[in-house]
């Protein structure tokens, strides 16, 4: 038994190799994910960061296999050693909910508006685990309590519209965790929420992950969200990972100009009022007609001739083998941590004032 | 975590969090109550007609034809065959509504199922079904119903002993077939819209089967739209039966429906207009009540959807 567990610890829960996801559209083929590889071990969190359209949400849905009909995927996704990339829907259903699960961005749209909370939680319990009604109800009550919902018995009888955003996201988390998945995808879990509630939900996800030894992929556009919460951080741009490193390593010395620009675009509390934000000029590239060379080159302050013709491959940092980046002319500057990002691995202290936290 | 939970619990009673989020319950307008009252009355009379102290609707009871309302204790008078108009209106309502509700039930179940499947499975089967609905809708409803009735009724002169369904079932089937594409299309459109919602993906991410997603996640959301169309459908079917009656394709005499009564009364329109107007008023009020309640459902449904 214990030997088995060590095996599990040494073998990645998730191995993704050269994952490519394309959508056929009227305009042409959309290259949403372009050759992404990573490993994720048990109990670890990978933060995936990028701006809108960088392919970060598509990445998590591609790995999980929740794709619309016009998508094609190639490459390899191995979950606990088994290839799941092009598994049949029937096989995937045995993974979804029980082995991997997802917390969605907007809990209002991800909950069924006309079903009571109780049914939405117990549904998958009935589906996967042959539970009696009473057992399922008890399990649901325990789940709601564990995600910090006061008066769970009353909440069970309510509909989603009777709850606040933070409460709904707690329900979403309870639903996602109902069947004890070993891998959780959190797709921008706090983007639709009030700032005051964001930290609470992130804390909840983190504590759930620790208690259950789950692996987690935390997708966000906010470096501040993953700081202190992710073990590793992958920065995505135009469907590719452009930089990936353990979180502390990344914040100690980011090498890709895009990562650096993302970092600089976070407002800092110590800046005087009315300081202009360091926004990243230009727009992300069109995923149908990608430019030749490095896709960040048109917006990159350091871009040179070579960048416009030659797409850089992911290469490891000289001193740190686990720090990879895709850039011909990497920056080598230590950015002083912005507020909300503490290099010591502590969660950011955004809006953690308990006097504000009543509306979750 | 513990801290924030404690705070939430402490704050919860002080802030009536539900108060501002739940839309204030709107009172039903007076028109709704009138519509409901009329329909309840009609349905009650239709259901319990046999128990009420009414004359036989198919037997002459008055001393003369076209007896004016109020005379000889017949509140609504007598028709051209001296039959009690009140009794015929009530029994006619039973037949008219029975045919309409039966037909729409067929449309609701079969059309609803076909619509759900064709809206959810967007493959060649779903697309062919959608094309079929369009084709059926392109055929004028009354012509389709009339042809179905005449085919199903057969020819009593040429084949008098052939098996045939009771005429009321034939009418229900004919109007039911006509209402299938109507309900199927509405259901399909709504299913397509709801199937793209995030909660459907979320249900898939929890390992729900297609059947479960279709019937447990999508169907409850589509039902209000189906109910709206079904109420309108009953109203349309009542009128359509009237159309068939005027073409002589409704129930066999001496049975009454509102359509048959209108048809019977039209020859005496100048001498005794009440014979024609009584079933017309009954049809009018019923159709209007159904339409009004249907609109009410649609409005409520729309409001709820826009609030999401």
Confidence of residue B214 (pLDDT cuts 50, 70, 90): very high
Tell which wins on pLDDT, A359 or B109. Answer: B109
Q: Flag whether pLDDT at B16 surpasses 50.
A: no
Q: Flag whether pLDDT at B37 surpasses 80.
A: yes
Q: Flag whether pLDDT at A278 surpasses 60.
A: yes
Contacts of B52 (CB under 8 A, 6+ apart): B45, B90
Q: Flag whether pLDDT at A174 surpasses 70.
A: yes
Rounded distance between C-alpha atoms, residue A215 and residue B207, angstroms: 19
Element (H, E) at A212: helix A195-212
Please name the residues between 203 and 232 in chain B that touch chain A, using a CB distance below 8 Å: 203-209, 212, 216-217, 220-221
The per-residue pLDDT for B162 is 66
Tell whether pTM > 0.90. no
The per-residue pLDDT for A67 is 85
pLDDT digits (tens, 9 = 90+) for B141-180: 889 999 998 888 877 666 666 677 788 899 999 999 999 9
Rg of chain A in Å (alpha carbons): 21
ipTM exceeds 0.85, yes or no? no
Q: Mean per-residue pLDDT for A99-121?
A: 90
Instruction: Please state the separation of Cα A210 from the chain's center in Å.
Output: 16
Rounded distance between C-alpha atoms, residue B199 and residue A114, angstroms: 11
**Nearest CB to A354: which of B7, B17, B221?**
B7
Q: Flag whether pLDDT at A157 surpasses 70.
A: yes
Contacts of B24 in chain A (CB under 8 A): none
The per-residue pLDDT for A75 is 93
Please name the residues between 101 and 130 in chain B that touch chain A, using a CB distance below 8 Å: 122
| Exposure letters B257-273 (e unless 16+ CB within 10 A, then b) | bbbbbbbbbeebeeebe
Tell which wins on pLDDT, B61 or B106. Answer: B106
Contacts of A355 in chain B (CB under 8 A): 7
Most A CBs within 10 Å, among B1, B8, B22, B305, to test the A interface = B8
Percent of the residues in chain B that have a pLDDT greater than 70, as a whole number? 87
Q: Is B308 on the interface with A (CB under 8 A)?
A: yes
Q: Flag whether pLDDT at B10 surpasses 50.
A: no
Q: Provide the 3-class DSSP secondary structure of residue A72.
A: strand
Q: Mean per-residue pLDDT for A210-214?
A: 90
Q: Are A215 and A41 contacting, i.e. CB atoms less than 8 angstroms apart?
A: yes
The per-residue pLDDT for B203 is 92
- B206–A354: do the CB atoms touch at under 8 Å? no
The per-residue pLDDT for A299 is 87
Q: Flag whether pLDDT at A359 surpasses 70.
A: no
pLDDT digits (tens, 9 = 90+) for B238-251: 999 999 998 888 88
- B8–A358: do the CB atoms touch at under 8 Å? yes
Q: What is the mean pLDDT of chain A?
A: 84
């Amino acid at each position: 038994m214990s030997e088995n567990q060590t095996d599990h610890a040494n073998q990645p829960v998730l191995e993704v190799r050269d994952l490519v996801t394309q959508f056929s559209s009227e305009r042409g083929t959309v290259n949403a994910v372009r050759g992404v590889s990573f490993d994720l071990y048990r109990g670890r969190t990978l933060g995936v960061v990028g701006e809108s359209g960088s392919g970060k949400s598509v990445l998590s849905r591609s790995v999980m296999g929740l794709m619309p009909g016009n998508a094609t995927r190639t490459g390899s996704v191995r979950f606990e050693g088994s290839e799941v990339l092009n598994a049949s829907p029937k096989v995937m259903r045995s993974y979804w909910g029980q082995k991997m699960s997802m917390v969605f961005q907007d809990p209002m749209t991800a909950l069924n508006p006309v079903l009571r909370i109780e049914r939405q939680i117990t549904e998958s319990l009935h589906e996967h685990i042959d539970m009696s009604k009473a057992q399922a109800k008890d399990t649901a009550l325990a789940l709601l309590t564990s995600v910090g919902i006061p008066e769970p018995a009353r909440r069970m009888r309510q509909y989603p519209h009777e709850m606040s955003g933070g409460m709904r996201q707690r329900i979403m988390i309870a639903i996602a965790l109902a069947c004890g998945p070993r891998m959780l995808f959190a797709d921008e879990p706090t983007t639709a929420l009030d700032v005051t509630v964001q930290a609470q939900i992130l804390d909840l996800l983190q504590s759930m992950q620790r208690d259950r030894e789950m692996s987690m992929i935390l997708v966000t556009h906010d470096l501040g969200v993953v700081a202190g919460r992710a073990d590793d951080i992958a920065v995505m741009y135009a469907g590719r990972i452009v930089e990936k490193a353990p979180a502390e390593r990344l914040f100690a010395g980011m090498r890709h100009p895009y990562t650096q620009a993302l970092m600089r675009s976070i407002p800092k509390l110590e800046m005087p009022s009315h300081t202009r934000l360091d926004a990243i000029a230009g727009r992300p590239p069109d995923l149908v007609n990608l430019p030749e060379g490095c896709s960040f080159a048109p917006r990159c302050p350091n871009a040179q001739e070579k960048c416009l013709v030659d797409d850089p491959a992911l290469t490891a940092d000289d001193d740190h083998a686990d720090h990879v980046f895709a850039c011909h002319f990497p920056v080598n500057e230590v950015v002083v941590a912005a507020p909300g990002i503490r290099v010591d691995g502590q969660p950011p202290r955004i809006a953690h004032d308990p006097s504000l936290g009543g509306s979750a | 975590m513990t801290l924030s939970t404690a705070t939430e619990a402490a704050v919860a009673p002080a802030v009536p969090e539900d108060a501002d989020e739940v839309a204030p319950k709107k009172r039903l307008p007076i028109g709704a109550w009138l519509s409901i009252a009329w329909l309840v009355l009609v349905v009650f009379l239709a259901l319990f007609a046999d128990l009420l102290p009414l004359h036989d609707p198919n037997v002459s009871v008055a001393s003369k034809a076209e007896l004016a309302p109020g005379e000889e204790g017949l509140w609504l008078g007598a028709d051209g065959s001296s039959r009690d108009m009140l009794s015929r209106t009530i029994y006619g309502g039973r037949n008219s509504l029975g045919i309409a509700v039966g037909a729409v039930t067929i449309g609701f179940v079969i059309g609803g199922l076909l619509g759900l499947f064709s809206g959810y499975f967007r493959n060649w089967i779903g697309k062919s079904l959608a094309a079929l609905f369009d084709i059926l809708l392109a055929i004028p409803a009354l012509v389709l119903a009339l042809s179905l009735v005449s085919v199903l009724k057969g020819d009593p002169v040429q084949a008098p002993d052939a098996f045939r369904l009771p005429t009321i079932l034939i009418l229900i089937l004919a109007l039911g077939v006509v209402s299938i594409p109507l309900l199927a299309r509405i259901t399909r459109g709504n299913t397509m819209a709801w199937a793209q919602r995030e909660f459907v993906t979320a249900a898939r991410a929890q390992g729900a089967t297609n059947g479960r997603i279709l019937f447990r996640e999508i169907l409850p959301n589509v039902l209000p739209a189906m109910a709206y169309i079904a109420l309108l459908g009953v109203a349309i079917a009542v009128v359509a039966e009237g159309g068939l009656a005027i073409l002589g394709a409704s129930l066999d005499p001496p049975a009454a429906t509102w359509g048959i009564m209108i048809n019977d009364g039209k020859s005496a329109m100048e001498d005794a207009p009440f014979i024609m107007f009584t079933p017309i008023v009954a049809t009018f009020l019923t159709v209007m009540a159904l339409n009004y309640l249907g609109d009410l459902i649609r409005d409520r449904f729309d409001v709820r959807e826009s609030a999401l």
